Each structure stands twice: as structure tokens, then as C-alpha cells.
Chains A and B, each alone.
Chain A
């Protein structure tokens, strides 16, 4: 059984088709990333997989349950970390976990027994009686993650789990997510942070305009779609330099006042740089793949 499978998924809002024929397969125990620019259809795809909205076409199986028909049964074994925190501001940290566990019909005694471990996982041990308003953004995010684990789910959906967090908070979340993967939980996350996807995901799919355009492990995608070395150059005289670069690098692209050169060997290009030009030489990353495949146009 796969953790999640979707076939030919479609969803339109009015005349706009937000999801246009998405196929997904996530294996049990895998950390799977769904990447894409704003408006690519990631969140809608997650909502479809959870059975929160009905697809116009296609088939979904979540932990073996057909969705949306048996979405309730599937959701009983799934956790969700939404894009925007919706912790219950009327309750304390601990009450949030207790009340949320009740929605799953879990026995209150059992929830109480799980709470210390959940607070510990969230780095909120000793803060059980704190009000939600007094928590920092990172704490709220961790509590939301702990809340998603209250039913001991097999699979956790996370919609941009670290958006808006500072680096410390982000690294702590990453560490916790790795721990969940080690415990054998399946994670499905959406993100725009390529670094996050590269670090955490075993496999990922890049989505754009309602379709999945490419799928694979982060390394395989970089190897397949982009040259290993990147040189970014800007400064006075970059236009003249670019003409020369074009003869030395297999792929040269100009974005605004910056020239991007991609290739296997960047050293010959480095030698041609005059003193006036600023440059950055770095290995290719998932972000380069992402921008190559989805373009550099703004999506807001």
C-alpha cells in the first residue's frame, strides 16, 4: 500500500482550473515535497487529498482509504500542519492539545498521557499553561506540529511548515521533521524553500499551473536538469563581458543586471572577469532547477 496516491486529479474554481491532471505517489515512510510558485495549486492539491474539497475528476487513496468517500476514516490517521497557524486562542497550550485530541474521539486519559511527550517534542515542556497569545511564531508553529501528532498519525501533511520563521526556529523544525521520518512517519510537505526541500525530502515534485512538471530526488533533479556549476556576474561592463561568456559557457542567461552562467567547467570564465565585475561562483542548487522549470516571472 502506498501512503498516498492520486490519479488524474482535477479541480476548477469557476473558469480557472487550479489542479489540472495531477498524479502523485507517496510511499510509506517517505518525506515527499510538493514545490511550486504561488498559485501553482499545491494547497488545493493537499485539500483534495484530505477530502476537504471534492475533486472534479480523478481518484485519491489516502492510507488505503478512498477519498473523499472515506476521508473521515483516512483523516483519523493523518495529521495536518496548515499554512497559517489556527491554534485555538481561547485555550492554553495544553488545552489546545486536549481539545484537539477530543475531535478525534481519543479518550481524555490517553490524551493526557500523550501530552508531556508532545510538549517535549515541541520544545514547550513547562509551557503547558501558557496562553497562545504569549507564544513566539516558532513556538506556535511547533505547537501546531505537536497538535498534528495528537492522534499519532501515520502521515502528516504540512503546508509551508517554516514560512515566516527565523533561521533558529526553522532549523529546530527541520530537526523535528527528520525525527518524525526516522520514527517511520510519512511526511508530505509543500514549500517554496528549496533549501528545505533539498535537506528534508527524499523525493519531490515541482508543480506549476496546476500540473506536476517534474518529479524525483533532489539530487537527481539537479543532475538531470541543470549544469553543476553556476557563476553569477554583475557590475559595470557586464554586457560586454556577457558576449564573451557566451562563447565559453554552454548556457548564459541575463536577468535584469545579472548574468547567470551555467556549465561543467566555470574556471575558464573566472579568468576572464575584470576587476570591476562582482561575481558569485557556486554549485547548482534545486533553486536553479526550480527557476529554470517554472520561469522567473513573479506569480503574485
Chain B
């Protein structure tokens, strides 16, 4: 449990600037949610039996969680590792690189969870979700956060400079957002794209959260959970592998 001290360090820094951090993580997704939700929603009678804004809220919750986890585990972790050399300092203590990787991933997932759960709270306050099922979206958001934090940290420990992250963001995250059923149902896409979407963690996050917001149990819940867990576990393992390699030279 030595990684907790790494998590705690990041939490203490976040707490100092919590207001600004929360604003930057929440303002964009909420503006999108209400802008697109009500704007586009006015043109659409309903999508899969939900109002468009409620439909989109599920997608937006997962997307915002993805972005927070990814930004934290890429840009912020990279700043700590590369710019500030905070990781080097931690390694003089009785911690090893595995502890730092674990602490960073769980931290990014925690911060992402906060984004996801706040959006959920807003959705509930605006009457977009009302069934108790929606509470299960809380652990789901953490799981989405873990999956993306793991992958983000792989990018972090592989990066030689800041530009490296643009590839992942432009070539992976943006297309993923388009095909994972965030803005419209994924199954209306051509089938090869649906297959790609089903291999992506965001799709499975949306598949869990949307039924919960609609007020019922998600079909094939365990499949979706399993995919997210697999991403989190594989991301964790690969991030440790590459971090050890980086720090042993």
C-alpha cells in the first residue's frame, strides 16, 4: 500500500487548486451537454426511448471521465515525471517505480471519477435520471477512469516529449469518441466501425451508463465490466513494464 503516499501527494496538490481544476474538468463537458443536448434535442423526438439530452448525458459522462483520466495520466503525470523530476525524488524513498505507477493511475482514475460523478449529479438535478439504478454509474465511472488512466500512463512513460500525446489524442481518442455511441447510437454505424468501437473501452462505459440513466440494469453488464477491467489491468501491467524500462536506463 506504499502507492497511497503517491496518490495522497497528488490529492494534496489538487486540493490547493481544486476550484480551478474542477472548473476546467467540468465546464467544457457541461456546456457541451446542455448546448448539444437541448439544441440538438429540440430537433430529435427521442433516441432509444430517451430524451436526446438524457441519451447524450450518458455519453458525455463517460467522455468527460475519459478526458480527465487521460489528461491527468498523460500531461500531469508527465510533468511530474519529466519536468519536475518528482518521481526521481520519490524513488530515493523506500518506494519503487511500480508504486508510483499504481499511485498515478489510481489518482487519475479518482480525479476522473470526480468529473463523472459531478456530471451525474448535474444530470440527476436536471431530472435526466431519477431511478436508484443510476447510483451504479458511480463505480462505473471509476472503472472507466481506471481503464483510461492505465492507457494514459503507458503514453506518459513512453513519451519523449509533450508532442507525443497529440498522436494518441488525435488518432485514438477523438475517433473513439465519434464511434462509441456518445452522440448517437453506435449500431447505426457501418459494421466494421461497430466492431472497432466494441474493442474500445469508451463504448463499454457508455453501454453501462446509458441504461442506468434510463433507469434499468444494463444488458450484458459483466461483458462491459470485463472489457473495462481488462483495459485497466493491461494498462497497469504495460505501464509498469515501460516505466521500469525507462527508469532502469
- By a beta-carbon cutoff of 8 Å, the part of chain A in contact with chain B is 13, 50, 52-54, 72-73, 75-76, 78-80, 82, 84, 86-91, 95, 99-100, 102-105, 147-148, 151
- The interface residues of chain A lying within 8 Å CB-to-CB of B6 are 103
Whether the pair A105, B85 counts as a contact (CB closer than 8 A) is no
- Mostly, the B contact residues are helix
Whether the pair A103, B85 counts as a contact (CB closer than 8 A) is no
Known: A53-B248, A54-B248, A95-B12. A103 touches B93 (CB 8 A): yes
Whether the pair B84, A88 counts as a contact (CB closer than 8 A) is yes
- Contacts A91-B13, A103-B90 supplied; 7 other A-B pairs, CB < 8 Å: A72-B95, A76-B93, A78-B92, A79-B92, A86-B88, A91-B12, A147-B89
Whether the pair A89, B84 counts as a contact (CB closer than 8 A) is yes
Known: A13-B249, A88-B86. A82 touches B5 (CB 8 A): no
Q: Return the 7 tightest CB-CB contacts between A and B, nearest first.
A: A103-B93, A86-B85, A80-B92, A72-B94, A90-B13, A86-B89, A76-B94
Partner of B5, one of A54, A79, A86, A102: A102
Of chain A, the residue at the smallest CB distance from B249 is A13
Whether the pair A75, B13 counts as a contact (CB closer than 8 A) is no
Partner of B92, one of A75, A91, A102: A75
Of chain A, the residue at the smallest CB distance from B90 is A103
Partner of A75, one of B9, B94, B248: B94
Partner of B94, one of A53, A87, A104, A148: A104
Whether the pair B93, A52 counts as a contact (CB closer than 8 A) is no
Whether the pair B13, A105 counts as a contact (CB closer than 8 A) is no
Whether the pair A100, B93 counts as a contact (CB closer than 8 A) is yes
- How far apart sit A70 and B89, CA to CA, in the bound complex (Å)? 19
Known: A84-B85, A86-B88, A86-B89. A72 touches B96 (CB 8 A): yes
| 22 pairs, CB–CB < 8 Å, chain A vs chain B | A50-B92, A54-B248, A73-B94, A75-B92, A75-B93, A79-B92, A86-B88, A87-B89, A88-B84, A89-B84, A90-B13, A90-B16, A91-B12, A99-B8, A99-B9, A100-B89, A102-B5, A102-B8, A103-B2, A103-B5, A103-B94, A105-B2
- The interface residues of chain B lying within 8 Å CB-to-CB of A99 are 5, 8-9, 12
- The interface residues of chain A lying within 8 Å CB-to-CB of B248 are 53-54
How many chain B residues sit at the interface, stated as a range, is 20 to 34
- How far apart sit A236 and B109, CA to CA, in the bound complex (Å)? 73
Of chain B, the residue at the smallest CB distance from A53 is B248
- How far apart sit A286 and B5, CA to CA, in the bound complex (Å)? 44
Partner of A86, one of B9, B12, B13, B86: B86
Contact of B91 with A by CB under 8 A: yes
- The interface residues of chain A lying within 8 Å CB-to-CB of B2 are 103, 105
Whether the pair A88, B89 counts as a contact (CB closer than 8 A) is yes
- How far apart sit A129 and B224, CA to CA, in the bound complex (Å)? 48
- The interface residues of chain A lying within 8 Å CB-to-CB of B16 are 90
Whether the pair B95, A103 counts as a contact (CB closer than 8 A) is yes
**B79 to A: closest C-beta gap in Å:** 10
**A157 to B: closest C-beta gap in Å:** 8
- How far apart sit A46 and B88, CA to CA, in the bound complex (Å)? 14
**B2 to A: closest C-beta gap in Å:** 7
Of chain B, the residue at the smallest CB distance from A88 is B86
Whether the pair A102, B94 counts as a contact (CB closer than 8 A) is no
- How far apart sit A90 and B16, CA to CA, in the bound complex (Å)? 9
Of chain A, the residue at the smallest CB distance from B4 is A102
